[in-house]
Structure 1
């Protein structure tokens, strides 16, 4: 059984991170803080990457959870080849394209007093670290060129933890020990080596929570109640929006809490799908247009940020109220970024999609939605 709601949730997370970056790019640096207080809800988009990581662990564990010995299909080598083929070609295409654009277009490789400053100037260290997918280890390199790609490096590193750490622990000591070890290990890196906090190594615990959700769906016997899921989401997301500054400073804790709530949501939705008791949440997350966006959300994630940042630079000389500036970015720059992202998906990403994603795409196509 495939769970289309996972693609819908991925789409919502991708849209959330695009809105968050539109908010952070508005005007000069930190000027977005002058927007009306209702805009603070857009800070929830900062937690989108945590959702992506939980979803990644959930999806990758689904076939493993049905294996008697919890082994990866084809072994570690084939698993890593599949992961490399899926995420690396689009990543290199996006980073390479934006690198050329920044270096060739006058003014783009200079600081401007906006959020664009975290992307430039491009350095040799930044280029080399992006090529090696280690730019997430340094604040100097992490946001250069295409800011959101720091998380691609983190996810790539977590892929190695699954067969080399998490699954061996799972086989020997059980899922609870594996998840607890992953969470504590990630937190330990934060406290012992805060200089690499940009990498969010506590995400290994979120990935393990996604794996646990998948294992519970395939093998668990306890049924998760919807009320408990709603409570978990409210307890984690409301403080994340209301006290974003504090939650951001305690990201190791707040993102782990959000990850746990999302893992519960996945279990609940999967259990209801398996028993053919679908809810309004299924109707929303399995809505075909959302599933479609989820199918190319990786391209949207890779491509959107520099486009919105450049659009803000273009608008900067025009005097206008801050709300109007945000509205222009949201209503003009965001759709342009989405259209270019979809073109990037059609041209590059879809060539490297998994068989599951191709099957979803074929279903959507047969229904006349693409």
Structure 2
């Protein structure tokens, strides 16, 4: 997260709303609480179940918008090696992500004693955990240990692909053209084939629209660039209409015009939305373990009324926000993340020193020169 002085209220608001919609989608999808809620209120909970997941498009577009700002603010090629940037992104995502996976494993073990439901992940194996740690669980076909964790792997893939494309471009004109070319390929072909949904190329259309919105908002020919974005998107929708792409286009246009007009840094001035936007990644990570425990308790206590189900969901929602607040402070915030990565680096360094002193292991490790 950036510091408060550099925050963008419009992006915070979009992230807050998107995070809550993803949370409500999962609350409408998993366990007896979700089933009871959908039976009692089929309209609203059915809508969350069917359409809440589309809020992920908001995160994809915003991620592309911010990646363009960080990697190529003027549409220039990346003139440094992308590998350190990719590694930094990996650490930024994985430190809180692995902590949340640990919470999900514990919550699943507890809920499994109280409830027999398909929503509870099976007991984690070491290979499954390792696949999650390397963000390869979807690609390798491992069952997810928590809901929504596929997105973290995709986010990392998208950033890495963006960095590599900008680095490959080498010149100011070619670099953004490569991004738009790959985004167009995604919109016209790959995003229409669900067999690609474990790979960045499936989602790069939305990500590229976000990047294009950043570049368009910083150019004199705003109308021309926005016209290119709209032409590509509309043509892709004519070929195959997808509501998720409509949402992505709308968010990209909102961000582009918002930055150009100054609204991006000024509106909406609402502290609750700013706060929820700041902790949105933590909400995304911790709400599923909370939901598992809530469903387990609901079954354990033998509750089955509509009122008890709704109270359970409301308490789970409030607990998710509270848990995300603490998780952000202790795990995800820049200060906490630096402390954790520093401690891990210290432990790894000392482990290497100790290993070198062990005769058998020391012969296998490289020596300092």
* TM-score (structure 2 length as normaliser): 0.73
| Equivalent position to 1:24, from 29, 44, 66 | 29
Pairwise CA distance, 1:75: 4.1
Partner in structure 2 of residue 179 of structure 1:
180
| Equivalent position to 1:320, from 295, 304, 307 | 304
Partner in structure 2 of residue 239 of structure 1:
none
Partner in structure 1 of residue 206 of structure 2:
206
Partner in structure 2 of residue 77 of structure 1:
83
CA contact (8 A) 2:75 2:175 kept: no
Task: Map residues 237-256 of structure 1 onto 2, 5 A cutoff.
Answer: 253-256=242-245
1:76-108 CA deviation, whole Å, 9 max, x = no partner?
Answer: 2342243133212111111123324444x3725
Q: Distance in 1 between matches of 2:162 and 2:61?
A: 13
Pairwise CA distance, 1:347: 0.7
Unaligned runs of 5+ in 1: 225-234, 236-249, 356-370
Q: Distance in 2 between matches of 1:182 and 1:338?
A: 34
Partner in structure 1 of residue 17 of structure 2:
12
CA contact (8 A) 2:61 2:209 kept: yes
- 1:68–1:94 CA distance, 2 compared to 1 (3 A): closer
Q: Distance in 2 between matches of 1:269 and 1:65?
A: 19
Partner in structure 2 of residue 120 of structure 1:
122
CA contact (8 A) 1:303 1:341 kept: yes
Partner in structure 2 of residue 56 of structure 1:
63
Partner in structure 2 of residue 146 of structure 1:
146
Partner in structure 2 of residue 269 of structure 1:
258
Partner in structure 2 of residue 351 of structure 1:
334
Partner in structure 2 of residue 130 of structure 1:
132
Q: Distance in 2 between matches of 1:64 and 1:131?
A: 25
Pairwise CA distance, 1:332: 0.5
Q: Distance in 1 between matches of 2:57 and 2:83?
A: 26
Q: Distance in 1 between matches of 2:164 and 2:34?
A: 41
Task: Map residues 282-301 of structure 1 onto 2, 5 A cutoff.
Answer: 282-283=267-268, 286-301=269-284
Q: Distance in 1 between matches of 2:23 and 2:217?
A: 31
Three-state SS of the structure 2 residue aligned to 1:15 is helix
Pairwise CA distance, 1:21: 1.1
- 1:48–1:106 CA distance, 2 compared to 1 (3 A): closer
Q: Distance in 1 between matches of 2:14 and 2:111?
A: 39
CA contact (8 A) 1:180 1:205 kept: no
Q: What is the CA RMSD across the aligned residues, in angstroms?
A: 3.6
Unaligned runs of 5+ in 2: 1-5, 225-233, 235-239, 339-369
Q: Distance in 1 between matches of 2:330 and 2:10?
A: 26
Partner in structure 2 of residue 260 of structure 1:
249
1:28-77 CA deviation, whole Å, 9 max, x = no partner?
Answer: 786655332133332432012221111111112124444473326x5423
Q: Distance in 1 between matches of 2:92 and 2:116?
A: 35
| Equivalent position to 1:330, from 295, 307, 313 | 313
Three-state SS of the structure 1 residue aligned to 2:112 is coil
Q: Larger Cα Rg: Structure 1 or Structure 2?
A: 2
- 1:191–1:44 CA distance, 2 compared to 1 (3 A): closer
- 1:80–1:140 CA distance, 2 compared to 1 (3 A): closer
- 1:175–1:155 CA distance, 2 compared to 1 (3 A): same
Q: Distance in 1 between matches of 2:334 and 2:208?
A: 28
- 1:106–1:39 CA distance, 2 compared to 1 (3 A): closer
